[in-house]
Amino acid sequence: MKKLIPIMICALASVSMYAQTPVLKVADSILGTGDYQQALKILKGVKNPSSSILEKIGSVYQKVGNHSEAIAFYNRAYATNPSDKTKERLGVSHQFMGNVPKTITLYKEILEANPNNSILKYTLAKLYMGERKVKKAIQLFTELSEQDPENPNYHYHLGLAYDKVKKDPSVGFLQAFELDSMHLKSIYRLAKFYRALNIRDSASLFIDKGLKINPESINFNQLKAKDAFYKKEYKVALKHLDKLDTLGYKTLFTYKMYGFTYLKLEDFKNAETYFLKAKDKDPQDDEVRYNLGLVYASLKEHKKAQFNFMMSIYLQKPKLDKHYYHLGMLQLVQKEHKKAMKLFEKGLESNPRNKTILFQIALSSDSYYKDKKIALTHYKRYLDKFQSLDQEETTYVERRIKEIKKALFIKGEKVE
């Protein structure tokens, strides 16, 4: 095949716009081998390329992550032959480039011409959620759930949207569950919803359903460990904490829960071991220090107990993190990015457990600094400390980590 490629390039370079279908077939054949550069040579060698050729070049660049070039060729294709398909692909590349408002504009234009395009409407609704335009997302998810009331995912996303505007999300989650009893995301949200309302029986019901479907789930094992602890079923709590440990989930949450559970069982040595691990994860956690004080008091190690009780008091001093956060947000509005970042860092220093500030630091560094390794570091910090606290933020962070790593890999930069 490789020996034939130079001949193909010469033979096809002068193909007119009236006979370009063979070129597309040859390019597809070469792309099947993964040699996209040779495919591009053939496609770009065509004189007076048709919209199909231009769109194919755009799609190749899109697949390899070169979205600037993809946008350039999609624009040329659209100028030659306007189509919703090309416009939609343009939207995808703009989204990958971080220009979500442009993507939204393109998708809205397509939907104005074709309001029955449910797939694109669903995509646009999720983009609105990501851009915190929740009311617009609710409108689209409502339309989708009316067009296809048997689709549980639409009801689930409606629940998520209502939760964002402080309305009862359970109706959407319950409808999704009624339509699909295996819909794990809805089951998880219902378990958390009922637990927050302290409706323990309903929470336990959905936690157990989730674990039955996926015993390896980190989310459900966390919920079960907490649920068992509050029911004073300490051995059950340990069982699910051990499961989390086996799954490689070793976080501040698991170490503290181990410590609390062993403390209740009066296994003070194991309690000490895990509270010390928790302290290493977050030295500013006053709750950990307080419980270490209890452990050492029980072990008759009075000096250590006294020190940890004093540290727990010290760490409860007034936090200024919220003040720094709002000052930082004001600086962002005024496009004073450096000042904003300094204020966010001061806020995090005041309260290292403020996940909102760390998330904002990651977002701001991602949009402000050209060196994406800076943002990558902050996203990793967020995952390490707050992975279990906000599913939506965690999903976004995990996606950006993958995208940044991929972009750095393409550039040939090393990433730990």
What does the pLDDT look like over 383-397, one tens digit per residue? 887 877 777 888 888
pLDDT higher than threshold 50 for residue 159: yes
pLDDT of 14 higher than 80:
no
Answer with the residue of higher pLDDT: 408 or 204. Answer: 204
| Predicted local confidence at residue 142, as pLDDT | 96
Averaged over 121-136, what is the pLDDT? Answer: 95
Residues 167, 240: Cα–Cα separation, whole Å: 32
Which DSSP string do the residues of 136-173 spell out, in sequence order?
HHHHHHHHHHHH-TT-HHHHHHHHHHHHHTTS--HHHH
248 three-state secondary structure = coil
Measured CA to CA, the distance from residue 300 to residue 162 in angstroms comes to 52
Q: Give the pLDDT of residue 92.
A: 95
Q: 20 falls in which pLDDT band (50, 70, 90)? A: low
- pLDDT number for residue 9: 45
Whether pLDDT at 11 is above 50: no
Q: What does the block give as tokens for 315? A: 């760490």
User: What pLDDT was estimated at residue 18?
Assistant: 42
Residue of 96, 101, 93 whose CA lies nearest to 128 = 101
- Give the CA distances from residue 330 to residues 134, 342, 344, 354, in Å, rounded to whole numbers and listed in that order: 22, 13, 11, 18
Mean pLDDT of 289-304: 95
The predicted-structure confidence for 230-288, as pLDDT tens digits, reads as follows: 999 999 999 999 999 999 999 999 999 999 999 999 999 999 999 999 999 999 899 99
**From CA 135, how far away is CA 139, in angstroms rounded?**
6
Is the predicted pLDDT of residue 10 greater than 50, yes or no? no
pLDDT beyond 70 at 6? no
pLDDT for res 374: 86
Kindly report which listed range (17-21, 229-233, 305-309, 345-349) carries the lowest average pLDDT score. 17-21
Tokens of 117: 């395009």
**In contact, 375 and 407? CB cutoff 8 Å:** no
Question: With 90 as the cut, is the pLDDT of residue 362 above it?
Answer: no
Q: What pLDDT is attached to residue 128?
A: 95
Distance in angstroms (rounded) separating the CA atoms of residues 23 and 31: 12
pLDDT of residue 263: 97
What's the mean pLDDT in 370-375?
83
Q: Pick the more confident residue, 156 or 379.
A: 156
pTM over cut 0.75: no
Task: Say what the pLDDT of residue 411 is.
Answer: 76
Q: What pLDDT sits at residue 415? A: 63
Mean pLDDT (the chain) is 89
Mean per-residue pLDDT, 183-207: 96
CA dist., res. 16 & res. 35, Å (int) = 24
In this predicted structure, the answer to whether residue 325 has a pLDDT above a threshold of 50 is yes
- Residue 405's pLDDT band (boundaries 50, 70, 90)? confident
Cα gap 126→398, rounded to integer Å = 17
pLDDT, residue 201, reads 95
Domains of the chain as residue ranges with CATH: 321-410 (1.25.40.10)
Question: At 91, is the pLDDT very low, low, confident or very high (cuts 50, 70, 90)?
Answer: very high
181: pLDDT strictly greater than 50? yes
The pLDDT of residue 408 is: 80
Of 201, 113, 117, 128, give the one whose Cα is nearest residue 158.
128
Burial classification of residue 359, based on how many CB atoms lie within 10 Å of its CB (0-12 exposed, 13-18 middle, 19 or more buried): buried
pLDDT-wise least confident of 76-90, 208-222, 287-301, 369-383: 369-383
Say how many Å lie between the first and final Cα of the chain, rounded: 37
